[in-house]
Structure 1
Amino acid sequence: DFPITQPVTFDTVAAGLRQLIEQLNLAPVTLVGYSMGGRIALYTAIQFPERIASLVLEGANPGLADEEDQQARAALDDQRAAQLRTEGIDTFVDKWYAMDLFRTLHTNPERLNAMKSCRKKNDPSWAAKIISELSPGRQPPLWDQLDSLTTPSLLLAGALDTNYTALMSRMGQSIPHATVEIVPDAGHNIHVEQPEIFTQMLANFLQCK
């Protein structure tokens, strides 16, 4: 068990993933990560390349290069974490999915409500901790290390998620063995909005790598 009083950093999470891979006696694995999970997967692949056979990133950010941007984002996520602690997880999740980043999810209210219901079951103390301590503002920027990735990499962005479409395309220019796929009629949650396309792209990538 990981005590909630212990700081969570990208180093501790990446080391935990590596330990899990070793304990399960797995061969080099394919890491698939979405959003924050994609940031963690990317960091782990750079730190422990010998454990990673290939990488799939969906709507992931390599980090903020500008120090002022880092500080501003860290402060924003600290504020969000404080709101979660004071307002409760139900109110927080409703506000979270009202952000423009998730606007395309609102075309299917039934699906969105199911997602929100699932998120509201999370432990609010841990959710607040993760939002703050694994903020993009506290993530070591990885732009300068992308060219060191030698693993085959699939980079996915939804065509309606314009910020991440640009980010993933830019990443694809730096990662030597990267394939960038822009998924039509999808926003930030490709695996939710276009699950069949997402699954087929993932299967094709794993067969060809």
Structure 2
Amino acid sequence: MIILVFLHGLLGDKSDWKHIVAKLSPIPCVCVDLPFHGDAQNITVSNFEETVCYISKQIQNKLSQKPYIIVGYSLGGRIALYYALQSLLPKGQLKGIVLEGANLGLTSQIEKLQRWENDMYWANRFAKDNLYSVLNDWYQQSVFSHLDMEQRENIIKKRTALLNKSGGKSISLMLKATSLAKQPNFIEKVRSTLLPIYYIVGEKDHKFKNIAINNQLNHYIVEQSGHNTHQENPSKFVEILNIILKDFEMNKKE
């Protein structure tokens, strides 16, 4: 049976997936903390290669040579892309990746410069400012514009509690290490690879929905959700994962 390996996004940890894992039972699942997050709080990295090296070791230690699919949300999806399509690290029996609201990469140096400046702005704020204040501004960004006041307040409280142990310095370091400005553009590799890649996006997440449609990705749209579909509509998210797993089983029999 294929194992699902979950990678969370920036500001989260492996517990973000607990409700999804519970709904998927008895499908075997493994949740991995990214560097600077959760139980990997003391793991330091400075770039994508070091990040995927750590992730690779975690996967190989937990799975040995068992077949698996990586499910990555946002930053976790970008790390999955780098691991699968860029890194030369051993990947064991990686059978595919599922991307949830993950950016495939920037197309120009101007975009990369602008993104680097934006990420450094947030990195400096996370390192120096009051955590609640920074998170309040963070969740005002356009990608979270679908959230109402109550939803925004709930997620700010959750993230503040999660990050209180370390403050925002760890997030600052992760932003510097894995800025989108440092990521290769994976559009052509996504189109040409034989590795199955699936894309999940919320119907209210207009930016990433356009990425999926414009690049003709093999995608699924989750109703009544924005950027974080697995939190906002977990039942539909799990339904899609089950469809993907059935697709793998059918192809294997053929």
Q: TM-score, normalised by structure 1?
A: 0.86
Are 2:75 and 1:31 equivalent residues in the alignment? no
Cα deviation digits, residues 66-99 of structure 1 (max 9, x gap): 0111011011110111112221211111111111
Look up the match of 1:20. 58
Give the CA deviation at 1:136.
0.7
Q: Aligned-residue CA RMSD in angstroms? A: 2.1
Look up the match of 1:68. 110
**SS state of the match for residue 63, structure 1?**
coil
Select 2:121's aligned residue among 79, 82, 94. Answer: 79
Give the CA deviation at 1:30.
1.0
Give the CA deviation at 1:151.
2.3
Distance 1:191 1:153 in 2: 18
Are 2:135 and 1:97 equivalent residues in the alignment? no
Retained in 2: the 8 A contact 1:45–1:149? Answer: no
Look up the match of 1:118. 158
Retained in 1: the 8 A contact 2:212–2:219? Answer: yes
Distance 2:122 2:236 in 1: 33
Give the CA deviation at 1:61.
0.7
**2:210 partner amino acid:** A
Retained in 2: the 8 A contact 1:65–1:143? Answer: no
Give the CA deviation at 1:132.
2.4
Cα deviation digits, residues 139-159 of structure 1 (max 9, x gap): 122223223432222211112
Distance 1:45 1:172 in 2: 20
More helix by share: 1
Retained in 1: the 8 A contact 2:202–2:225? Answer: yes
Distance 1:61 1:143 in 2: 10
- Aligned in 2, Cα 1:198/1:26: closer, same or farther, shift over 3 Å? same
Are 2:172 and 1:128 equivalent residues in the alignment? yes
Look up the match of 2:46. 8
Cα deviation digits, residues 112-142 of structure 1 (max 9, x gap): 4332222113231111111222111111222
**SS state of the match for residue 126, structure 1?**
helix
**SS state of the match for residue 145, structure 2?**
helix
**1:151 partner amino acid:** L
Q: Percent identity?
A: 25
Are 2:202 and 1:163 equivalent residues in the alignment? no
Aligned length: 201
**SS state of the match for residue 105, structure 1?**
coil
Give the CA deviation at 1:36.
0.9
**Unaligned runs of at least 5 residues, structure 2:** 1-39, 249-254
**1:86 partner amino acid:** K
Give the CA deviation at 1:56.
0.8
Retained in 1: the 8 A contact 2:205–2:225? Answer: yes
- Aligned in 2, Cα 1:171/1:18: closer, same or farther, shift over 3 Å? farther
Retained in 1: the 8 A contact 2:143–2:207? Answer: no
Give the CA deviation at 1:50.
4.8
Q: TM-score, normalised by structure 2?
A: 0.72
Give the CA deviation at 1:59.
0.6
Distance 1:87 1:16 in 2: 29
Distance 1:97 1:19 in 2: 32
